[in-house]
Chain A
């Protein structure tokens, strides 16, 4: 579903990704772990071209993302993204945050979009917050709205960029629970995370990245219990 070949990303002279090859299959939950600055987030952001790709290729459903002929907006309709800092639109009510993209991009009728938004709010447990403004919500609630907002476009793939890193500890689980539910429903997900518990429990595959390389890859059991690479071992010994 997502195919990455020889992906290189440089910011000026700094090479952040040094050639990544990977393939994500449909309905897989991929958890990307690794130390800060290892290129995890950049890897994720290259998939929907929020970062320009320096070299290499990314395909989604067989369509080359970084082809000048590809309309990136068409691809982004199918790829939802959730950010560390939520990035809700602060000038809109929760319901409008969720309906704006379906209405403007999918040309959905206002009533349909609102129905969908109410369903999604129900799903993330915030049915009573439809008319609130983002600043009236807690961090965990904001992130759940952000997930609902991404789901409103009915994407095939969801990208999560450290979705719980900006949250107070007691709010982490409410967000992870929504993500687990999503996983159970068969969503294809790529999750950059520091939540090793989530990676162990939910991940189909775990990727360990370090220094711009994909160092190790395997099932959670392989990576967490029998890491082969020294750097993986060193990293896991610090975080577990």
Chain B
């Protein structure tokens, strides 16, 4: 009976593979953070594009979101890594480039919807007040609408970050040596499955736990009821600086 046959002496063997896991953590984290940042920037433009009245802006953004939300990420990864990039460059640019491209394009689609909804949730009167003072749409968006909308976007954007971290494990199919890949190597070498994959699960859990803490800090910091006295000191709050 193999069921729940966890062998405690296996942890020593996993410890011998620690460098593989540590490198895996590095790869997973850097893939996630780089893709998230790119996905956020791209998502901001696509999200605002979906609010545009101009059809030549609106429709490309809409179809972009429809495509990347409507097809499996795994399919997108394979399309980009095995078809798109070799098609353009003639050879592969490595799993990392393909991975970042696939993950950021995919998360941008989800972020775009969050950002669009966040902007739309701001009362119409805010834009009217800003415009009535003589602000252009761009100035009003940057100084009045986005800073407020951003606060409402923090919780769902945080969810996206955690989802992206977990989704990055799909890059194993293009041989990204992330955490899951390390687990698979150990499993292949030792022919043990419980311990390596439990280790993988624990590592992902630790990472999502840490990210969860960061997100809830940011959420508190940016909540509407929070009235700090020295808000301006925060480095990345330059968006709000008037």
Q: Shortest CB–CB separation between residue B53 and chain A, in angstroms? A: 12
Whether A90 contacts B224 by the Cβ 8 Å rule is yes
| Contact A104 B135, CB 8 Å, known A90-B148, A92-B242 | yes
- The digit string for B120-136, where 1 denotes a CB below 8 A from any CB of A, is 00010110111111111
CA of A150 to CA of B148, assembled, Å? 21
7 closest A-B pairs (Cβ-Cβ)? A87-B129, A101-B133, A77-B134, A87-B125, A81-B132, A76-B134, A105-B134
Whether B242 contacts A76 by the Cβ 8 Å rule is no
CA of A39 to CA of B125, assembled, Å? 18
Contacts of B240 in A (CB 8 A): 91
Check A74 for interface membership: any CB of B closer than 8 A: yes
A91 partner, pick from B130, B131, B139, B151, beta carbons under 8 A: B151
Contacts of B135 in A (CB 8 A): 73, 101, 104-105
Check B4 for interface membership: any CB of A closer than 8 A: no
| Contact A83 B125, CB 8 Å, known A91-B148, A91-B151 | yes
Number of B residues near A (Cβ < 8 Å) is 22
Check A153 for interface membership: any CB of B closer than 8 A: yes
8 A-B pairs whose Cβ atoms sit less than 8 Å apart in the complex: A50-B132, A77-B133, A80-B133, A85-B125, A99-B242, A100-B143, A104-B135, A104-B143
- The digit string for A87-118, where 1 denotes a CB below 8 A from any CB of B, is 11111100010011101110000000000000
Interface residues of A in 54-101 (CB under 8 A from B): 73-74, 76-77, 79-81, 83, 85, 87-92, 96, 99-101
| Contact A89 B134, CB 8 Å, known A100-B143, A104-B139 | no
Considering only CB atoms, which chain A residue lies closest to B124 in the complex? A87
Check B227 for interface membership: any CB of A closer than 8 A: yes
Measuring CB to CB, which residues of chain A are less than 8 angstroms from any residue of chain B? 48, 50, 73-74, 76-77, 79-81, 83, 85, 87-92, 96, 99-101, 103-105, 133, 136, 146, 149-150, 153
Measuring CB to CB, which residues of chain B are less than 8 angstroms from any residue of chain A? 123, 125-126, 128-136, 139, 143-144, 147-148, 151, 224, 227, 240, 242
Q: Shortest CB–CB separation between residue A158 and chain B, in angstroms? A: 11
Considering only CB atoms, which chain B residue lies closest to A89 in the complex? B144
CA of A103 to CA of B134, assembled, Å? 12
Considering only CB atoms, which chain B residue lies closest to A85 in the complex? B125
Considering only CB atoms, which chain A residue lies closest to B222 in the complex? A91
CA of A22 to CA of B132, assembled, Å? 22
Whether A76 contacts B131 by the Cβ 8 Å rule is yes
| Contact A48 B143, CB 8 Å, known A87-B125, A103-B242 | no
CA of A28 to CA of B126, assembled, Å? 28
| Contact A87 B126, CB 8 Å, known A92-B242, A100-B143, A100-B242 | yes
- Beyond A73-B131, A76-B133, 7 additional pairs, beta carbon < 8 A: A73-B136, A83-B125, A87-B126, A91-B147, A92-B242, A104-B143, A153-B133
Considering only CB atoms, which chain A residue lies closest to B139 in the complex? A104
CA of A83 to CA of B242, assembled, Å? 22
CA of A96 to CA of B144, assembled, Å? 11
Contacts of A77 in B (CB 8 A): 133-134
Contacts of B224 in A (CB 8 A): 90-91
CA of A105 to CA of B134, assembled, Å? 7
Contacts of B144 in A (CB 8 A): 89
CA of A90 to CA of B144, assembled, Å? 9
Whether B131 contacts A83 by the Cβ 8 Å rule is no
Q: Shortest CB–CB separation between residue A178 and chain B, in angstroms? A: 18
Whether B136 contacts A89 by the Cβ 8 Å rule is no
Whether B129 contacts A83 by the Cβ 8 Å rule is yes
Q: Shortest CB–CB separation between residue A52 and chain B, in angstroms? A: 12
